[in-house]
Amino acid sequence: MADIAGAALRSGVPLGARTAVKRLPLDAGTPHVADVWISGDLGFVLLLHRRGDGLMAEELYYSSRGEDGVWECPEHLSGGFVGVETADPSAVECALAGAPMSVVAESGSLVYARPGPKSDGEEFVHVWELLVSGAADLIEIERFSPALPEASALSRRDLTGPLVLLVLLPGERARVQAVRRGNSSLTRLGAPLELRHPEQ
């Protein structure tokens, strides 16, 4: 699985873009990339796969990019049951219970990044996995950094699957909104999610 995660990172998917599978076949034996999150020199890949008993499981990998621009071999951060049959749109909508989006998993991990003037190379990242309704075409992410708490960076990510990965560093926060695309307009669905790294 580390090889698949490494290939996803090497493909150069930037923050704001994603590669995903809309449906994972019941007899799948090969892990599929559900989402990729790249921020600076840190990259995260969420993989989905089916266990032998037919249940869907997930694995989260991360890597850091060296000064030469090459990604290190991805390391496994966490894994477990997904809890939702993401290949079945009706199961996704049932789990959301009418909401356009919800948090289905949240975790924190200490990862190694390149050392900097204010860091020994380790960062405590906080990871969210979001389940998004099929009524949405994209999500809008407004990120706030501790350096400029009143300023924000806005990005939009097209959805090709129901799971979205979001990773924040210490001091960061984000406002996430599910959005439907019209002919010439965007319609925001429901209230945005306010996500904060616990180290504020």
The span from the CA of 79 to the CA of 83, in Å, is 12
Which residue type sits at 82?
V
pTM for the model: 0.85
Position 33: which residue type? V
Where does 86-191 have alpha helices with state H? 89-96
Distance between CA atoms of 182 and 80, rounded to whole angstroms? 36
Q: Is the pLDDT of residue 199 over 60?
A: yes
Segment 114-130, tens digit of pLDDT: 655 555 678 889 999 99
Distances 117 to 89, 114, 121, 173 between C-alpha atoms, Å: 47, 10, 9, 22
CA distance 17 to 155: 9
Residue 24: band (very low, low, confident or very high) from pLDDT cuts 50, 70, 90 = very low
pLDDT in tens, 153-163: 888 888 878 99
- The rounded mean pLDDT for the chain is 84
pLDDT single digits (tens) 40-78: 889 999 998 888 888 888 999 999 988 888 899 999 999
